Amino acid sequence: MTNILRRNHVTDHAGPGTPVLYAHGFGCHQDMWADITPAFAGRQRQVLFDYVGSGRSDPSAFSVQRYCHLRGYAQDLLEVCEATGLTRDVVVVAHSVSCSIAMLAAIERPQWFRHLVLIGPNPCFVNDPPYVGGFERSDLQELLELMQRNYMGWADFLAPVVASDSDTSRARLRESFCSTDPVMAKTFAEATFFADNRADLPRVSTPCLILQHARDALAPLAVGEYLHAHLPRSTLQVLDVTGHCAHMSHPHLVIEAVRGVLKD
């Protein structure tokens, strides 16, 4: 247990209410939830963590073999749950690729999870007509080549795409991108952008709240509609937000949505 807590730099805030587990997106870390957690302090138990290779996780635990696929990150999430005793009635608040990771975890251990709150989910970033994921495969390959050639230039390019309507969010994202080891970041990037979890959606029995950004280059509106159509127990809520990070740019909207789930 201690090894997992240290490995994933787990932060555990006590509270009497339903436990909430926060799962960050690619290139990010648990501090990205700093505008959300104060709203539930002292009321809910809140657990935050960093995936191996992100934030203040233990870099010695990183393995390309494990983390070249989203199932490796889903295993991190499940092991954090087990190490902290979160094996019942857990609400997961997940951002971006963590939405797919959380769904994979919920498929494996459905009895552990009460609800998934999915912020900007995208089960497949690659366009596959008639499915619109947002990117051509060649565009993503060029992005990863830029990452390998000029990591700082890649961070400068991607941060405003992800957080297009918030200068503060852009700065926080760029800082987070730049603090991540390039080799570990590339492994996570490939696992993120070339994953295709569309076939997994019908297997998710946990109720899901899809928080879709109205104008999001990384997860177009059509993606949210696709998820709503293919997740058996889902609700779709479109947020009037430009960008991909409502929990940072418009935290009050995410807080309101999570409160609604906790009241159910």
Angstrom distance (rounded) from CA 219 to CA 252: 21
In sequence order, what are the residues at sequence separation of 6 or more whose Cβ sits closer than 8 angstroms to the Cβ of residue 119? 93, 94, 95, 96, 99, 211, 245, 246, 247, 254
Using CA atoms, how far apart are residues 105 and 240, in angstroms rounded to an integer?
29
Active site residue 216: yes
- Round to whole Å and give the CA distance between 176 and 190: 18
Instruction: Give catalytic status of residue 63 as yes or no.
Output: no
Of 95, 216, 234, 247, the catalytic one is: 216
Give the pairing of strands 90-95 and 208-215.
unpaired
- Whether 96 sits among the annotated catalytic residues: the reply is yes
Place of tokens 């929990």: 247
Map tokens 């805030």 to a residue. 13
Q: Which of 57, 96, 166, 234 is catalytic?
A: 96
Catalytic residue (choose from 115, 244, 247, 250): 244
Catalytic residue IDs:
96, 216, 244
